Amino acid sequence: MKSFSEIKYHLLYVLPLILFISSSYAGSVKSVKIQDKTNVIIIVADQMRRAGMGFWSQPEYQGALNGVSDPVVTPNIDRLAAEGVVFNQAISNYPLCSPFRAMLMSGMYPNKNGVAQNTHIGRLAGLKPEIKTLTNVLFEQGYNTALFGKVHWHVNKPLFDQQGNYQGTENAPGGHYIKQTNFDTYVPPGKSRHGIEYWFQNLSHVHKNPLIYSNDPATMAGKNDGQVHTNGIYSAVGQADRIIEYLQNNRQQRDTEKPFSILWTMEPPHGPYESLNDTDEQIYNTYYKDKPIIKLLNRPNIDVKTAEKFVRYYFSMITLIDREIGRVLTTLKSQGLEGNTIVIFTADHGEMMGSHGKMSKNVVEEESLSIPFILKYPLKLSHRIDDLMFGIPDIMPTLLGLLNLGDKTPDNIDGVDYSSIIIDPKSTKVNRPISSLYYGKEGEVGVRTARYTYALNNSGQLFALYDNVNDPYQMNNLELKDIPKKDRVLLNTELACWLQSIDHPNASLPSFNRHVTLFPINEIDCHR
């Protein structure tokens, strides 16, 4: 039996030492654990084409862009590109707002995720609530999940009062749609938020005074989730303000014991882009007001009259979002979070801006289809340019792969995990694709390869064939006889295999197969 003095010694000296060592060890383990968790920020510009980034004009990137770059000022995006991997062949497979967002979230093409057109009053289009999305997986794996900006994936129903406050019923005082927008709608708490905890949603394209719905009353003048608010702040600026606060965590908006994932979906440079009400006056005056129109509209396929009233505002909106991205990235660095955060910058689709006499998007031409895609991951990636044929459904599995969560990727998605190639371009774990699928409006389908853009209408008849190498501005719409037979076979085989692999309805449609350009889709062997 120990003496009293021995017990006293252990109580006064040994036990405190053990507790100190234990707590120190636990603290070090805890800090290492936190440091090992990788954060995520996905930034989505709206209606910004791949050419709309300033760095393309730098010597390093000569030949990496198909055609000339737009004369835009984007110092922060340029810096992000210099620190990350720049993908110069990424496309928006369905270059339209809602289909892009549904593909991003679900890893599925529109025939599976429920969004084959823009959500709109009178349409049933909406991301299926039961789908396990990217944000669902991240939430289940212990991430703080947050959204700032545009949603545009939810079915639009008249569940609001006349002021735009959510009632959840079509009976009075419900029965109204939100004013100022026929397309987007508020997403209430529940399955349709797909695991996103912190909610700061903007609606409408009234850039300087958007409608706001949030579950953070401090951002809403005390209003609750579902009550509409306006603050007179330019949408991208207000979103950046909230993201900066979220990163600083000054109101405990997130649990610092967990990693975070932020989905930032901005409205600009989506139209309207018609006046100074749509942009920042100082940016407009400094960079674009006095620049000759011929230097702004520098693509040979431009119809100047179509775009000259809009291009200065459009480009100044790109510089505006670049400024706001810079503010967020500066905060990320100042908070000591930069080194362990994956940052993705992309856009939901491009903007024609007068090319081929067209404006807006949702067409197969390059200005609509091609998008920016930059991925920065300081822990694992160095700067390079990569020509991976990256599609939107690939984002979910690839990001989860980079986060070492590949085994958590749902089995029923269409996207492919290219994380091994992104980390090591020489990896043979997965094959590099030789085409991307074009999933267009009204049953249009096609493929885009490194050389060609090839698209058929819903009857299986050719309506677009461009040689993007020899004709980067797509000024000559070719016929199949104009290209080598091996290229014709390749294009049709790639399209057939895409349609089969995603169970596209055209793959089994008799009228489509009867008129298809070369040979029926169902006769092609896709085992490779």
> What is the rounded distance in angstroms from the CA atom of residue 463 to the CA atom of residue 444?
9
Provide the pairing of β-strand 211-214 with 260-265.
Answer: unpaired
Radius of gyration of the chain (CA): 25
Strand, helix or coil for residue 34: helix
d(CA 10, CA 14): 5
CA distance 170 to 58: 55
Helix pair angle (235-248, 311-334), 10° resolution: 10
pLDDT digits (tens, 9 = 90+) for 177-195: 999 899 999 999 999 999 9
Distance, C-alpha 227 to centroid of its chain: 27
Look-up: residue for tokens 């819903």?
Answer: 458
Question: What tokens appear for 239 in the block?
Answer: 């979103």
Q: Which two tokens stand for residue 394?
A: 């690939």
Cut 0.85: pTM above it: yes
Residue ranges of domains in the chain, CATH in brackets: 39-423 (3.40.720.10), 436-523 (3.30.1120.10)
What pLDDT was estimated at residue 521? 76
Strands 260-265 and 144-149: parallel
The CA distance from 85 to 175, in Å, is 48
Q: CA-CA distance, 437 to 369, in Å (whole number)?
A: 11
pLDDT digits (tens, 9 = 90+) for 7-60: 433 444 344 433 333 433 333 333 334 446 899 999 999 999 999 999 999 999
Which helix (H) or strand (E) segment holds residue 238: the answer is helix 235-248
Which segments in the chain show pLDDT lower than 70? 1-36, 527-528
Closest CA to 183 of 313, 270, 242: 270
Q: How far, in Å, CA of 158 to CA of 163, rounded? A: 12
* pLDDT recorded at residue 16: 41
Q: How far apart are CA 390 and CA 395, in angstroms?
A: 8
Q: Give the span between the Cα atoms of 357 and 301, in whole angstroms.
A: 8
Q: Say whether 469 sits in a helix, a strand or coil.
A: coil
Tell me, what's the pLDDT at 36? 65
CB 81 within 8 A of CB 361: no
